[in-house]
Structure formats: C-alpha cells, structure tokens
Structure 1
Amino acid sequence: MRASNSPGAAPSTVDERLSNHTDYALEDDLGFEMVTKVGMMTTDPSSSPTITISGLVPALLGEGEEEETDVNDRTCLIDQEDLNLNDPEVRTAGLANAESCCSISIQVFFPFLVAGFGMVVAGLVLDIVQHWPVFVQVSELFILVPALLGLKGNLEMTLASRLSTQANMGNMDTKQATWSMVYTNLALVQCQAIVVGLVASIFAMLTGWMSEGEFSFEHGLLLCASSILTASVASFALGLVMVLVIVLSRRFNINPDNVATPIAASLGDLITLVLLSIISSTLYGDLESDQWLAPLIIVTYVLLVPVFVILSKRNSHTEKVLYNGWTPVICAMMISSLGGLILDQAISRFDGIAVFQPVMNGVGGNLVAVQASRLSTDLHQTSTLGTLPAAHSKVCSSPWAIFCEPNSDSLSAKILMSFVIPGHLIFTLTIVLLEAGHINHSAFFMVLYLAAALIQVWILLHTAKWMIIFMWKKNVDPDSSAIPYLTALGDLLGGGLLWLTFEILFLTGDHHRDESPILGGGL
C-alpha cells in the first residue's frame, strides 16, 4: 500500500479504510489510477458512516510516483485490493446515498414535464399535418414519422448518455478534452443521421410498395431527401443543445444523466416533426418544377459521409462507436418503422390517435432513457466492461425485481414509474383543453389509456435492467447500444397499445372515428 500523510498500518475494515473526505486511487489493469472521491459524514462516532462517491477522475501515474492533490484533508492512496468498488459493502454504502429520492425527483420531474409538453405540441402538429396534401398523397411519410422521431433515441439520447458518462468520469473537465469530445461526437451523430435517414426512407418505400402494390419514383426521391435532410438538421441542432446541457449540468453540480435525455426528448419530437413536415411539403410543391432538388440533396449528403467519418475517428471513444455502433442504430430504426406501419394503419381507422402517438411513445422512451443512462453510468463507475459488480450479478431477474432491490437503481425506477400517471394526466388534460384529438375524452378512455402507459413503461424499465447488464457482461458499451433498442421498443409498444386502446373503445360503442370529409374513408 502506498500512502501519503497517512501513517500507520493498513486498515482492515471499510469504516477504518474510509476517513473524512479521503481520496482513493484505484489502479486498473492498464496502470491508470482512477481517483475516487469518497466523503464520509457522521455526527456520532459510534454510528455507521454515510459514504458518498462523487465521481471518478483519471490520473496517469508512473510506477512509484505519488499523486499531488489539492485536497486539504489527508490523502491516502491504496491498492484496489484494499478498497474494491466491487465490494458490496463499499458499493452499497457509497452509492445508495449518493442521490436522495428528493434530488432525483426534482432533477428528473421538471425536465420530464418540459419534455412532455414538447411531445404534446408534437402531437398537435401531427394532428394538423396529417391532413396536408403531402401526407395524404405520400402516406409512406407516416411510416417515416416514428423512425425519424426515434432518432432522438438512436442518436441524441445515446449522445447524451455517452457525454454524461464521460462527464461523470471526469473526462470533460478541461476545455481541450471537452472540445475533442464534442466535435467528434457531433461528427459521429451526423454520419449516423445521414445513414439512418437514408435507410429509413428506403424501408418506408419498400413497405409502401408491398402494401399498396405500386411504386412512384418521384415519391421515393421525396422520401429520401426529406428523411436525410430532416435527420441531419435535427440531429445537429439537438446535438448542440445536448452539449450545452451537459456542460452546464456539470458546472451547477447537477447529474447530467437526470436532465440531458429528457431535454433531448422535449425538443427532439417537435423539431423533427416540424422539419419533416416543412421539408416534405416544400419538396412536394416543387416536385414538378424542380425535379433536380431532391436528387441534389441526396447526393450532397452521401458525399459528406466520408468527411464525418474522418472527423469521428479523431477520438478513441467515438472511433469505437463508429465501428461498433451501427447494429443497434439500424435495428432500432427497423423496430421504430414497424411502429410506423402500426401508425399508418391506425390513422386510417382512427385519425384521433395521431395527437396521442408522440406523447405515448415519447413519455415511455424518455423515462427508460433516464434509467438506462443512470444504469450505464453506474456500471462505468463501479466496474470494468465485461465484469459485473456484485449488485448486478444477475442478468435475468423477476419482472418486479427492478422495484424491490435495495439500491439506487430500484429507487430511480420507482420514481420514474410514479411519474407515469400524473404526467399523462397533465398532458392529456392539455390536449383536452386544446380540443384536439377528434375524440370524446371519457373516463373509460382515460382508464384504458393510463393502463396502456403503465404497461409500456413497466415493460421498458424491466427490459432496460436485464438488457444493460447483459450488454455489459458481453463487453458491449450500453451507452451506445441500449437506448436505441429501448426507445424503439417504446415506439412499438406505445403504438400497439394505443391502437388496442382505440379498438377497445370502438368495440364497446365509444366511437372515435373522425367523420370529417377531409379524410373520408381514411388515407
């Protein structure tokens, strides 16, 4: 054991090993020192200490060198066998009290409300634009909607999760490190957005062709150009917002895991849907006169992909995602597109469903993204990739285990689950007051709607638990892989459960079909 300003024999118990405001440096397999600030507070010398672990700060130390710190209290450097963060005693004491129920609730609930109102506005926009000529004539756009709205889960939320983890680990504490992390991540997101936008439009074209039995080349170009341009612009704008949020969160001592993903959700749906509507409508209006515009957009963005690839490779963190992060993004896009098929069919029967679709999908994706980001950061801070800490030794557990375990993950899951009913009540009441949705908001409708929302979030939170632990065990970084799958699953579950809700209402005599001449018999 190496120690400075700490005479005496090596302590044998956790209580003895941890003293007031002590910094511990844990050496990993690569010879890096991970300095963990551990503060202990107790008012009674005989009582059990309360230990809080504030974060990990990497420090390169040569063999035999001592780490100079600015900490005024005594500093102790010990080997990992003396203080192992995988030790359940250390981990439980350190992390269980790191964030209180109140602090998590406050940090998450207000961004959650802002995100929810953003989704309500997005739903109102979709309720309006579904009657626009471009959406009526090119119905494949409805298949694109969940896939493009899901980009916030595929790209922006994974960006937020990656940056939150790096910020919490101290890898963005200097301007140079922050700048390197920012521009390479934005370049990576642009590369992914262009590819995903192109693949999503091709999938929408093929699906529309198979379902309708006819194919329009002009409509195909419109879909591709609209999808790529929307994905690129929305991802860049939201990426800048995410960077700003995370930097400010660190400055004001707020856990970015709690606020970054909800803010991405709040702006993501609205910005993406507005951009898709405006861009597709503009291209549709110029379809006859400016036939060169859509191909020019497609070719320009395809040529930019190699540039973004080169920029992304300048940082080791983004380079790994560039090579290994495509499977979850593409698979999530396909899953979201299946949700788009459900939306396309559901709107043809119940166009009142349009205003609720972004809200239902968005709330579920928002909440599970917060939980996934927190779980991922927790694993990054307490173990190495491929090694499960004692608190997460079981990959598969019962569906209720996520709410019953005595740790911070269970606490946050219960808090997030408690937001579902009050959140949806607030958002639905807003829709009612704005007289949107083309339906009568009966008590029976609210019961079915809230039940669907609870089922969706419960499934997502349980899935997040085992998926992230499974990925971690298999040496897959959940920061870049878990959230795309989870938000896409949220889109699929939300669309399916919402359609089921409207079908039950219709079968029980609560008719919600819009009889206006705008749609007639459907799209």
Structure 2
Amino acid sequence: MMFTGALLQRVTHWKPMRVVDELFILIPMLNNLKGNLELVLSARLATASHIGVLDRRSSRRALIGGSLSLLQLQALCVSALAATVSFLLGLALPDTAVATGSTGEKVAGDGKGTRGWHVGKVIRELVKQAPHKAPKIKDESTKSGWREFIIVLATAMSSASLSGIMLGSFMCSIVLLCRRFKLNPDNIAPPIASCLGDLVTLTLTALTSTLFFYTSGRPQDPVILSVPQNTTSAFLLIRDTPPAPAHFPFLPFLVVVGLVISIPFVFQLCRHLTFSRPLIRDGWSPLVVAMAIESGTGLVLDWYVGRYRGFGMLAVVMTSLPGSVGAVFVSRLSTELHQSESSTKAKSPDGGSPKLVSLTLLAVGFPVLLSYLLFVWGAGWLPLPIGFVGLFVAIFGITTMAALALAYYLTHLFWQYGFDPDAYCLPVHSALVDLIGQLFLVACYELASILGNDVKIKIS
C-alpha cells in the first residue's frame, strides 16, 4: 500500500498521464475493476475451502481452472468498457486551468468563524472547484482523438489481462497455502488481493500507457501551461519517463486487435470448463455497477490530484485500507451464510460474532494507518502539517466505520434476495468505499486549508 501511494504520486508527473487526461480517469476505474475480480476470486475460493471443495483434487482443479478462465474473460470485457467510459468522460468535461490565487487563505472575522460558516465554505469550495480539471500539459495541436482512444483502450485491456494472469494465479496459491497450513483464507486473501492488486495494476497501467504513448506516433512536444511545485520529496518529483527508443505507431492498435480476437477463444474455454460454465452469465452486473461508481472516483482523482499536496498518496490509504477491512468482513459474513445454509453451523469461521469482528477490524486499521503515515513521513514523501494529520486520522475512522456498515448491510441484502455475496457484494462495496473515501479526503483537505494549514499545491 505504501509503494502504491508513492507510485501513484509519482506517475501523476509522467507525460502520458499529463497529456492524455483520460488515463487519470481510467486509473481508479481499472484498479477497482481488477481489485473486484481478485476479491471475488479470493472470496469464492475461501468459501469453497470452508465447505470442503478444495479438499478433492478433481474439484480443486476444475474450480481453479474455471476461476482463472472466467477472470480473464471478465477482465478483457470490462476493461474495454472502462476505457470507453473514461475516454467519453474525459471528452465531456471542460479542461480549465486552475486559478493561481493564494493557497493559504485565512478565515477571518465578521461572524465567519462559526461552524456553520466553515461547513458552508467547504461545500462552496468543492462545488466551485469540481467542474474544473487539475492543471495538465496539453498538446497545442488538437484535443483527444482516435489515437488517444486507442492508447487508453490498449492500456486498459493489456494491463487488465496481464494482471489477471499474475494476480489470479497468485491468489489461488494463497488460498491453497492457507488451506494447507490450517489458516482462515477469509482473513488473509482479501487484504492481499486488494493491496497487491492495486500495486500490480497501477504498475502495469503506468508502464503500458508509457509504452503505447511513445510508440503511437503522437506529437511529443507539449506546451507547459502550469506545473505544480514542491509536491513531495525529490524522489517523487521526477517529472517524466525516458522516451521509448522504438517508434511503432501501430503497436497499440495491434494489441487491441489481438486482445479483442482472444475474447471468443476465452469464452469457449469458459464454456467447456465445468465450474465456469454456469458463472458466465452471472457476476457481470455488479462489475458494471462498480465501474459506473468508480467513474465518479476517477473524476474526483482527476480534479483534485493536482491541487493538494500528497493527495495521490493519501487517496490510496484512504480507500485501500477501509476497503480491505470491509472486504474481510464481507468474506467472513458470506462464509458464515454459506455454512449456515449447508449445515447447522451458524457461527462465523472463527466463532466471533459480527459485532466483535467489526470492532476488531476497526481497531486493527488504526495501527496500520499510523505505521503508513510514519513511514512516508520518515522517508520524506509526505511533509504535511500535524493538524492535517490529526484531521486525516479522524476522517479515516469515519470512512472505516462506513465501510464496515456497508459490508454488513449489503451482504445480508444480497443474500436475502438470493444473490451470492462473494460475487455481488464485493464489487459494489469496494466501489462505494473508494468513492466515499476520496470524497471524505477532499473534504479533509478543504477543511484543513480553511483552518489555516498549508496543504494546497502552489501553481507557478
């Protein structure tokens, strides 16, 4: 999670991200998509482990093979849809430069010190800033066109496919090892799937977008409108990546064609495998709903990542940690419900009540958060005021409680209507937590700025 935040903060200054603005909107959507697929996979395998499906070699092979083929099919299809939606959103939004006024605005007298005025100021600031994108480097020739769309589409599909192969195999191994050593995969697999999935997917997205950007034949001499200064440490201030030595303008198009052609073959493979055949039609609607919710998260990231110091790094922990806590809770509740349906056992896998489990997960989150903040502060990556840090910890607690409450009610709601929480609850829950976490983080920055903390990036 620490490296994911540092990587996100760094890639915001890479030229492909600054020039092709739709890539910024794509990052949260694609990260959430891949995280959802691995979360569903880990939760489904954990439930199968508890009810004994993984104990038989024949059923174990059918389950793992069907799960990986289904994961690849879903990754290819939904990543293409996510790329299309992010590109259309990028075209629809106006690209307005941010005013370079004073960022250290103070709150002063005349009755403006009341709590109601502060809350109203926060809301007005959010509404005023929301329609504008963060300052970007833009090519002086044209707006985004078909070449940029091919870059976004190739980036989304290739990174989703590669991360699906890597992370899917890894998560299957994790669940099997948990079963081998008598560990509860509900407590181990979802956090690993969430955090490691974000890191791997973000890394692949950054690398593939850079490769396709420099080999697409696109003009490479942008005009700098404004560049944020003094964001974080020198490590994170590396502005760009070295240009790719090769120049192959048809590479993104060929990658897209190859991946699209592979979809029917993966579909036929899923149809021939016993486990994945009945699941081909299930599980698509929560992924599409989650992607729609994540489009809002992508807009929040695109609007505010260039305004606030360390926003990208803190956005990762504000969404990933509560999301992981909620995913563990969903997985445990789902296992408990499946066990209660197949036997007389009505307790959770470790015998704890849902209330006790939720309180334990809430308590576990704070030491992890403080360790994260201490590490990035000690490394010089996050020089933020102490007042802002205290406010951030409080907002994090609220976000985690919201994630646990959503996990409990969504799991029982889907179960009540006959839907498997492993497939339906986790994607929707993850997307909602991402959106809520980033909105709370924006409010935290604005409130800290109103209280006199210097947390905004100065534009020169």
TM-score, normalisation: structure 2: 0.79
Which of the numbers 385, 388, 392 marks the counterpart of 1:441?
Answer: 385
Residue 417 (structure 1) aligned with residue 362 (structure 2): yes
Instruction: Measure the CA separation in 2 of the matches of 1:282 and 1:217.
Output: 17
Offset, 1:313: 2.8
Which of the numbers 84, 95, 111 marks the counterpart of 1:202?
Answer: 84
Offset, 1:497: 0.7
Greater alpha carbon shift after TM alignment, 210-219 vs 296-305? 210-219
SS at 1:456 equivalent: helix
Q: Which residue of 2 aligns with 1:173?
A: 55
Instruction: Measure the CA separation in 2 of the matches of 1:152 and 1:378.
Output: 25
Q: Deviations over 1:199-237 (max 9, x none)?
A: 111111111101137432211110010011111111211
Greater alpha carbon shift after TM alignment, 310-319 vs 281-290? 310-319
Contact 2:340 2:346 in 1 (8 A): no
Which of the numbers 474, 478, 482 marks the counterpart of 2:421?
Answer: 478
Runs of 4 or more, structure 1, over 4 Å off, are 388-392
Instruction: Measure the CA separation in 2 of the matches of 1:187 and 1:420.
Output: 34
Higher helix share: 2
Instruction: Measure the CA separation in 2 of the matches of 1:231 and 1:375.
Output: 28
Which of the numbers 155, 158, 169 marks the counterpart of 2:37?
Answer: 155
Q: State the AA in 1 paired with 2:336.
A: D
Q: Which residue of 2 aligns with 1:300?
A: 258
Q: Deviations over 1:403-451 (max 9, x none)?
A: xxx95222211110111221111111111111113x4231x21221112
Residue 240 (structure 1) aligned with residue 169 (structure 2): yes
Q: State the AA in 2 paired with 1:190.
A: Q
Q: Which residue of 1 aligns with 2:24?
A: 142
Q: Which residue of 2 aligns with 1:514?
A: 457
Residue pairs, 1:255-334, within 5 angstroms: 255-288=184-217, 289-334=247-292
Q: State the AA in 1 paired with 2:364.
A: F
Unpaired stretches in structure 2, ≥5 consecutive residues: 96-142, 218-246
Unpaired stretches in structure 1, ≥5 consecutive residues: 1-118, 393-405
* Larger RCO (CA within 8 A; separation ≥ 6): 2
Contact 1:152 1:264 in 2 (8 A): no
Which of the numbers 302, 305, 325 marks the counterpart of 1:367?
Answer: 325
Offset, 1:315: 4.5
Contact 2:79 2:157 in 1 (8 A): yes
Q: State the AA in 2 paired with 1:198.
A: A
Q: State the AA in 2 paired with 1:452.
A: I
SS at 1:333 equivalent: helix
Q: State the AA in 2 paired with 1:173.
A: D
Q: Which residue of 1 aligns with 2:442?
A: 499
Q: Which residue of 1 aligns with 2:341?
A: 383
Which of the numbers 150, 166, 171 marks the counterpart of 1:221?
Answer: 150
| RMSD after superposition | 2.0
Greater alpha carbon shift after TM alignment, 299-308 vs 231-240? 299-308
Residue pairs, 1:72-111, within 5 angstroms: none
Residue 212 (structure 1) aligned with residue 94 (structure 2): yes
Q: Which residue of 2 aligns with 1:193?
A: 75
Contact 1:153 1:488 in 2 (8 A): no
SS at 2:269 equivalent: helix
Residue pairs, 1:394-413, within 5 angstroms: 408-413=353-358
Q: Deviations over 1:162-214 (max 9, x none)?
A: 01111111111122211111111001011111111111111111111011374
Contact 1:153 1:483 in 2 (8 A): no
Q: State the AA in 2 paired with 1:417.
A: L
Identity %: 31
Instruction: Measure the CA separation in 2 of the matches of 1:410 and 1:509.
Output: 39
Greater alpha carbon shift after TM alignment, 353-362 vs 214-223? 214-223
Question: Greater Rg, structure 1 or structure 2?
Answer: 1
Q: Which residue of 1 aligns with 2:310?
A: 352
Instruction: Measure the CA separation in 2 of the matches of 1:266 and 1:477.
Output: 23
Q: State the AA in 1 paired with 2:356.
A: L
Offset, 1:317: 4.4
